[in-house]
Amino acid sequence: MDKSGDAAVVLEAAGLTKHYGSVAALRGTNFQAKAGEVVALIGDNGAGKSTLVKCLSGAEQPDGGAILLDGKPVVLDTPTAARKLGVETVYQDLAVAPDLDPAANLFLGRELLRRGFAGKLGMLDRTAMKSQAVEHFRRLGVTLQSADVPIGSLSGGQRQSVAVARAVMWASKVVFMDEPTAALGVVQRERVLDVIRRVRDHGIAVVLISHNMPEVLAVADRIEVLRLGKRVARFSAADVTLEQLVGAMTGALSHEDVA
Ligand SMILES: Nc1ncnc2c1ncn2[C@@H]1O[C@H](COP(=O)(O)OP(=O)(O)O)[C@@H](O)[C@H]1O
Ligand SMILES: [Mg+2]
């Protein structure tokens, strides 16, 4: 049984369509993310995963269909609009500023200013950002070799953990992660997966795009499968096999179209 089966649907795609010229990337795609669960979005290359994530995070506009947040239709016309509604995205490449320390990375573009006149002059409140960052890393179980060095000198896993922590810090509803561990080794990958689990345990909906099926089975609560721009299957991770997942992705196993 899907342990998050009763959880509320936070973000929903309903019949989304999206064309790039004559290519139909999304052909009436449905998708649901629920509070406090990790849902993996899987599918072969070209299935439409990235296009769906872009539409749901404000980076692209669908041609048709609806996007519902907490059951209400929303227009996510820019990534900023999505962020304002609590929807954040972590990209595949290690998207951090290497010259800045971990705290500065968390507040990148959303820096805290000092109170009063100093703040009006644009002076940053580094002490407040540092202490909030330390507390946030502690809550997520992110342990850094040092919080005082440029993030470029940390390991890939630590950098990606900071990128995940940054998205989570500002996400109140949903975090999309497009291949967050693709650049990482085995040990580092495990640490990032631990952070993802903790994010989920804080009640946020985590959408994980991954090609790594063992990783999907290890961390996801549910799995939704896209093929040729449509959702073709949904599984609870607890009772699905690798063979079923691959079969749904390739179309080798016939599934009821749940779209
Ligand atoms: N910017 C684009 N211009 C033209 N075609 C695109 C663009 N982005 C995606 N596509 C096409 O849309 C389809 C879905 O792509 P994509 O969403 O990237 O799939 P996935 O992430 O599952 O590999 C593919 O056929 C791809 O070639
Ligand atoms: Mg993609």
| Residue ranges covered by each domain of the chain | 9-97+174-250
Would you say the CB of residue 49 lies under 6 angstroms from ligand 1? yes
Mutate to test the pocket of ligand 1, among 22, 23, 31 (most ligand atoms within 8 A of CB): 23
Would you say the CB of residue 45 lies under 6 angstroms from ligand 1? yes
Would you say the CB of residue 188 lies under 6 angstroms from ligand 1? no
Question: In this predicted structure, what is the pLDDT of residue 33?
Answer: 98
| CA 129 to ligand 2 centroid distance, Å | 34
Question: In this predicted structure, what is the pLDDT of residue 4?
Answer: 45
- HSE-CB for 25 with a 13 A CA cutoff: 19
Residue whose C-alpha is closest to residue 97's, from 180, 135, 153: 153
Question: In this predicted structure, what is the pLDDT of residue 1?
Answer: 38
CATH number for the domain formed by residue range(s) 9-97+174-250: 3.40.50.300
What residue type is 22 in one-letter code?
S
Give residue for tokens 């959702």. Answer: 231
Question: In this predicted structure, what is the pLDDT of residue 254?
Answer: 59
Residue whose C-alpha is closest to residue 41's, from 253, 222, 214, 229: 222
Report the nearest-CA residue for atom 2 of ligand 1.
20
Question: In this predicted structure, what is the pLDDT of residue 258?
Answer: 52
Q: Which positions of the chain have pLDDT values less than 50? A: 1-4
Question: In this predicted structure, what is the pLDDT of residue 221?
Answer: 97
For 103, 106, 125, the CA distances from 110, given in Å and listed in that order, are 11, 8, 12
Question: In this predicted structure, what is the pLDDT of residue 255?
Answer: 54
